[in-house]
């Protein structure tokens, strides 16, 4: 196992852990805003970590570049989607 | 290496089950949309792990497509929730 593979495994483990934390929060929290807060941040970071791990794992320049671009894309669009949903919930609260 | 990937896939699958429970249970539409967004993120993570497992790196492109569609869906659902409440308020007593 090379150093790069170990680093990728650690990154993927961190990503999976963040995803599990996000799912636990979405399941256990009692309020819509709390659930949004949990899903918006942890899941985005988990996906980005996992894509960076795949970039290290692949050992191919094109795939690594695509994975990094996908990670940047998720870091941008995840908060946008959550913000749109949170604004809708805030404006329609009873 | 493959053992690590299988363990991580199990963790992501467990997280998907939790998100699915919220999708079925959620009291409001917004809760269900949150769970759906999370499920799409979990699917992306699972596909990336699958790509690393099999060596078919085309799975990463599929994951990118799922992410694109999920973001558009979340924003559209937010707009829908807002419009529906506004129309209900206009028609209300």
Q: What is the mean pLDDT of chain B?
A: 90
In this prediction, residue A59 carries a pLDDT of 80
Count: domains in chain A: 1
| Residue of A27, A52, A58, A63 for testing the chain B interface, max B β-carbons within 10 Å | A27
Nearest by CB to A43, which of B38, B63, B71?
B38
Distances (CA, A) of B41 to A80, B12, B45, B91: 14, 10, 6, 37
Predicted complex ipTM: 0.90
Question: Residue ranges per domain, chain B?
Answer: 2-91
One DSSP character per residue, chain A reads --HHHHHHHHHHHHHHHHHHHHHHHHHH-SSHHHHHHHHHHHHHHHHHHHHHHHHHHH--HHHHHHHHHHHHHHHHHHHHHHHHHHHHHHHT--
Residue A28 sits in which domain range? 3-91
Residue in A closest to B84 by C-alpha: A92
B23-63 pLDDT, tens digit each = 998 788 999 999 999 999 999 999 999 999 998 889 999 99
Q: CB distance B52–A5 less than 8 Å?
A: no
Which two tokens mark B54?
A: 């099999």
Distance from CA of B69 to the nearest CA of A (A): 11
Per-residue pLDDT of chain A (94 residues; tens, 9 = 90+): 788 889 999 999 999 999 999 999 999 998 899 999 988 899 999 999 999 999 998 888 889 999 999 999 999 999 999 999 999 999 888 7
Q: Is residue B91 scored above 90 in pLDDT?
A: no
| pTM listed for this prediction | 0.91
Would you call A20 and B31 a contact, using CB atoms and an 8 Å cutoff?
no
- Length in residues, chain A: 94
Q: Name chain B contacts of A67, Cβ cutoff 8 Å.
A: 48, 60
Partner residue facing B35 (CB), from A20, A26, A54: A26
């Amino acid at each position: 196992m090379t150093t790069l593979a170990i680093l990728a495994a650690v990154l993927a483990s961190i990503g999976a852990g963040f995803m599990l934390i996000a799912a636990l929060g979405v399941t256990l929290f009692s309020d819509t805003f709390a659930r949004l807060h949990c899903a918006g941040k942890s899941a985005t970071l988990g996906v980005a970590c996992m894509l960076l791990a795949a970039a290290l794992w692949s050992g191919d320049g094109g795939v690594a570049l695509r994975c990094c671009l996908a990670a940047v894309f998720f870091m941008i669009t995840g908060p946008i989607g959550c913000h749109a949903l949170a604004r809708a919930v805030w404006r329609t609260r009873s | 290496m493959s053992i690590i990937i299988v363990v991580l896939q199990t963790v992501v699958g467990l997280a998907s089950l939790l998100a699915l429970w919220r999708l079925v249970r959620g009291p409001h539409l917004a809760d269900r949309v949150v769970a759906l967004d999370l499920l799409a993120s979990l699917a992306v993570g699972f596909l990336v792990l699958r790509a690393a497992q099999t060596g078919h790196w085309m799975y990463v492109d599929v994951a990118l497509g799922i992410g694109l569609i999920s973001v558009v869906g979340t924003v559209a659902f937010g707009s829908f929730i807002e419009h529906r409440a506004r129309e209900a308020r206009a028609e209300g007593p």
